[in-house]
Structure 1
Amino acid sequence: MTPEDRQTLIDRLRMPLRLTFAGLWAERLARGFWPLWSLLLAVLALLSLGLQDHLSPNGLLGLLALIGVLALWSVWYGWRNFRRPLKAEAMVRLDASLPGRPLSALADTQAIGAADAASRAVWQAHLRRMADRAASARPVAPDLRLARRDPYGLRYIALTALVVALTFGSVWRVASVTGLGPGPAQALIGGPTWEGWIQPPPYTGKPTLYLNDIDRVTFSVPVGSRVQIRFYGEVGAISLAESVSGRSGSDLPAPSEPVQDFTIAQSGSLGIEGPDDRVWNIVALRDTPPEISATDEVTREADGRMKLQFTAKDDYGVTSGRAVIALDLPQVDRRHGLTIDPEPVEPVVLDLPLPITGNRAEFTETLIDDLSKHVLANLPVTVALSATDAAGQTGEGAALHITLPGKRFFDPLAAAVIEMRRDILWNRDNAARTVQILKAVTHAPEGFVRNERAWLRLRVALRDLDTRTDGLTIEQRDAMAETLWDIALMIEEGDLASARERLRRAQDRLDEAIRNGADPSEIEELMQELREAMDDYMRQLAEEAARNPDSQAGMEQEGMEMSGDQLQQLLEELQQMLEEGRMAEAAELMEMLRQLMENMQVTQGQGGQGGPGQQSMRDLAETLRDQQGLSDDSFSELQNGDGQQDQGQDGQQGQEGQDGQQGQDGQQGEGQNGQQGNRGQGQEGVGRNGQGQGLADRQQELRNRLGQLNGSNLPGAGSQQGEAGRRSLDEAGRAMDEAERALRDGDLPGALDRQADAMRAMREGMRSLGEAMAQDQREQKGGGQGEAVGRADPNSARDPLGREPGDGARIGSDRNMLQDEDGDRRAGELLDEIRRRQGDLTRPESERDYLERLLDMF
């Protein structure tokens, strides 16, 4: 290794070596003197938070003495444990961080073989390799971990205290410690001096003022600001003259007292009399009480909740607020159950909502609460709003005289039950009157009480109330009130007729609001109420169908059925007209909807021949046939490519699938006619809406139909076969949903795959359900009649191969195929044609894949 190479290596190692050496210094200083700097941080944090202002001079001197002792111990501890690092130690640490310790190797000399040229060449190569490794040296970071030396984390506690002090305190307050000894001016020239601070209340967020730096003659501070003044030097050389504290007599200390501490209570002057006279005129800014007021009238939400918007403001921010709701007895209509004096009713106290973030000096919020169950609901009350600030001052707004909103009950019986509930809560002496009235109401329930469960619960409650001749306790009264509330809700919301009445009333109110030109907010509320009433009515229809599986519950007008989706579409159209301000058109549509609902009736009739289970199975079979037709149309769409077919092609395709059946029977069943019509309509939709959209709409309709059938009265509930069939139908529904998405995305091959999966799952589900239905019928009528029970309806449609639906509404049966040679021949011809086309390599690959799936399926 040449001297030039050695010098170059030394230059490269100089900076890493210096940094490693500095790291050794930092590491050993931290290990030795960590108690000292932790103590300094803790002391600085305490002084910044103003601890010295809360201690007497003697107490502060004692604290400083303790700090001095701890500081001396920390210095001794650090000096004892500190060991000055050497450059050689830095060299060793840097060398240890490199592979093979190249720095030590470069300092070695060749012990043997120095006279051999080959041995010297090997040695020089070794030195060059070590020099290359040494040139890649990086500074070694110091090890500043002190967990083993500070197991209690005192250094972190001191650091956290300093961060808190810098956030909420001020480092300028540290200077107040100098008031214990002679000031800087006295130390330099031996004359008297002073220092002063004005600290506003913390909730104002204003900074502390240092009087020595204020050159203005007049300035303002909030009332309640704390003034601290310290005099240094000869006692009596400097004195205080002030008129801002409002102190007098014995409360007023000597003007020359070295420490002056008081609070500003009023505007006035503050002066320092002495060698350096200073006078200030202080304007005391009073903290005014907060103001609060309601910005709008109290309104009622659709579910009966009270909604009150209010505005509050304060100089420095509102900290809390509340609304006190009390009975306005002079405004109560004292009739019926309210003629006697009420029992004491505690006012309702509600906490007002405050902004979670942001400034609370001025804000607008909305109080929303549900007091429908309270005795004051729907009675005249007074609402007193109040707000409190950080100074403890409370401001009250003007009292509101309102009728406390509550839940509205449209059913007459429910309203009567709620009124009797109110009378019991008003005064327990109304119990006998309540029993008498409700007994009269429920004496002849036919035609008046439509909910039998509610009527039974009401009779039980009346019997319980009638037996308590010795009066009701408060606990019994509250329990009875809760029971009557539940009964009223059951009457109001749990009956189809009452739901229909609620819908009619919601329509009438919205119609009247539109015609009278109500404001948009009221119309929006009534529109939401109409939607809820419509949803409730449709839900009651579904529950009625579930309770009566042998009947069909539907909505129809002059033989035309209407679905819930069509009604929702009408409501959306009405909503759009209202938003666009087309009130005349909205009124006409509202009138049409009202007449439509008046002419609608809930119809109940017997299901199809063979019972509801077979009717559901026939509906599933028709859905399967429609899914097969949709799959055929999807394949035709894939072949055509452009997605356009004229109406003549549609009719030809719809007729092609029926030739075999017409040749045999000379007629078509009702189900096939419906299928043919659906296909024609679907194909026209494809031509109008673009490639795949009409097919996707038909797929969506089939998926919805399957979902309704799967939730209807399918046979085999609770049996193993029935549950297996329902799982297969759920799988078919998922496959239909995926096929719909594929059609909307234009992925026809993927849609064909999903449609094939859906048909396979439907066949498996129908097979399981058919077995479950046959088993149920054999158990009900005995084994001798089991064969006739599961027989299909003779009027049902045939499948494309001329077969009648077999037992359990399965598509086709082996018995029919064996007895019909013509059907067997046609089936063979169809299979041969499918095999021929699938083996034709000139046909598109997608078509041959589809034909292969057909062969696997059949």
Structure 2
Amino acid sequence: MDASQTTPTIQAPGLGRKIGLAWAALAWEGLWPRVVPLLSCVALFVAAAHLDLFAGLDPWAHTGILGALALAFAGLAWWQLRDFSWPARKEATRRLERDSEIPHRPLAAVQDNLAAGNTDPMAVALWEAHRRREAERLASLSNKAAHPGLASLDKWALRFVPLLALVVAIAAAGGWRSDRMAAAVTPAFPPPPPVVANLWIAPPAYTGKPPVYLDMAEHDKVLRIPVGSKIAGFVDDTRGRKPPVLSIDGKTTEFSTVSKGKYQVEETITEGKQITLQARGDEQARWKLHVIPDLAPTVDFARPIGVDKWSTKIEYIGGDDFGVTGVQLQMRLHGSVLGDDALSSDEEPEVLRVDLPVAGNSKKIADTFVRDLTSHPWAGLKVTVMLFATDALGQKGRSSVETFLLPERVFNDPTARALIVLRKALTRDPKGYRIDVADGMRLVHANPKSYREDPVVQLGLRIGSVRLAQKDDKETIVDTQKLLWDLAMRLESGSTSDAERAVEQARQELRDAMQRQAGDEEIEKLIQQLYDAMARWQRELAEKMKDPDERRRMEEQAEKMDPNNTITGDDLQKMLDKIREMAKNGQREEAKRMLEELRKMMENATPMMANPNGQQRQQQGQKGQQGQGNQQGREMMNQLDQLSRRQNQLLGESEREGRQQGQQGQRGQQGQQGQQGQRGQQGQQGQQGQGQQPGQGQGQGQGQWGEQQRGQQEGLRGRLGDFMKKLDENGLQMPESLGRAERSMREAEDALRRGDSREASRAQRRALDNLQQGMGDMAEQMRQQRGPGNNQDIAEIEERERRSEDRDPLGRSDGNYGDAIDSGADKVPLELDRQRSREILDELRRRAGDQLRPKEELDYIDRLLKTY
């Protein structure tokens, strides 16, 4: 048996801890002398950092110093620790025995074994007794403190110098300075140039929305952009090794390289909630996104389809979130065999398509389609109608389906009615009634007296019947339908039908151009086209009236019409002049309403239009005089309105002069310049004043102003007197307020003669009030005497009367800012208003052509002249 297995281990309490302390003391004694130089170097570096010795160094020099210090520290650490090794357990045990000063090494005795083995019982017993005695001595073992021996190594105590320097440096720095420590270990290299991004989002042009510029500092701002917007821009990244990346909800787009360090991108946004810009491997900016969808437009009928005499009237409304670009009217024949039987198999069923005018990209549209469709082959038949609206993306919206009877023209000539019956039969069933219609045309051709032996009608019937009998294709049927209509119109109205259609076409083209906001040159061209068509229509109507039969027939028609609705050539000419003036002044909505009135007047035209000079027939003297009286009433109201405006101007000048006189009286100044007159004449130096009493101490300049004002007031009073005489000559009752106005004007003249501007202004104020009251009295007279034909005149008078009330000193409307509140009535400007607007426009255009004016003023004038 092995002796080591028979020898039990004897342990004393706390022996392991004591051996560990002894081991630590040996390690500390070997390590501390070697570590102190390293810690001294660290202390000196920290002291230098707190003394800010590294500040101001060149970044590269700073980097070199740090590198050199790091290498020196690493070399010193290697040199100091090159021969260091951790102590073994035996060395710790021996150290504990020496520190305890116990002889015979009890720890070694307890752990030793018999060299001779365990065969001798006597030797084993003696050995066990020896071990027990030594184990009893283990309890007295104790540790002593470590002794590194620095004092013997550093006799001059230089190890305390770095510590002292560290304490002084921290005290001088005001405590521990982390910023200086960071600056000491971080060379002050300039930061890398930031990523410069110039990005923007451009909405589609049709939306009318401005571009949205992206700020890299705005992370929480939500960008609301329409669908289809394009994000574009440039990125400058001189340090970037890879192109930046634009990410929209994970869908990445890499920037294209323009030059070294410069990149660009362009991407269309259709959806997404977040935009991210990545450069240099990091996220540089992020924006929230909300894409606004583009909805399909809407359109529908505002009212049931109506018929205005022979014209089809369709009122419709529509809208789109970004603007309607087009509206189309589609009409199909309802309940007829016309369709695939009349067309070849590769064609669509016949549809009447009419593109309605739209002003730009209007978000809301509300308009009326009025067109004479009696010439269409479907006239008198039931049709179905739909409206289609289109936006800039090509999206379409459709209305409900309306079914109505397309109006047809009523023909008084029996032959014309017969031709229309044939045309309608050909429309219902082209192939079934083709031969019958051809035979009917031959029957009409065989009776020349029925169409007054008109060679044009005779030739048309002959050629048309032959062609229709020989061919049954669509082109022949369409040409025959048009031929039958033209012949019927010739029999009914003669050559004036073409001229009338030309007028209607010119009127419709002008209205459409105004609706889509065409340019001034195109509008002027179309107005001139309407002038020419109207002149041709009047000439042909006059030629037609030379035929006794035609004259008699038209006179019979005139007797059946309301005499108050009759018109003359002068009425049409004045209306055309008003339309042209409104178009030039930018009042296109009013011009469109006037064009509609022109259409109605054309429908109510009477044989009086045959007179080229536009004079009324003597047979209608009484009724014509009523219309003439209405016209005179309008002219007289315009004259009275002009008198009121002029009196208001004189009142303003008198009030300004009165204020200046009051200031002169308070200051008591001498030799003051006279008040500047209306025509810009400069007053001369006055004499010494003794106050501002009427008739006393007035300077020569003030006397000259008073004389000018008195003369102007006297001239205005004379105009009022002529106006009152004209009222008496026309048999109209003169309002008493006009007489009071004349007396107030006379009082103002006397005050101006004395130089008393204050008293003159009070008299002029009374005159102005009486003039406005006179306008109201005249309006009441005309209201009592009005007939069916002068409702528009009364409406104009009432509108002018309303506008004359509640005016501020500058003539502006009080309570309705700029008359912006819509009263719901269609108002046509008066002649004086249109003339004033024209003068203002001419002056603005003259100033716009003066390039010497400031740029800000020219830009402002351009905005005023812009037509919306």
Which TM bucket (shorter chain)?
Answer: 0.3 to 0.5
Using structure 1 for the length normalisation, give the TM-score.
0.34
Using structure 2 for the length normalisation, give the TM-score.
0.33
Higher-Rg member (1/2):
2
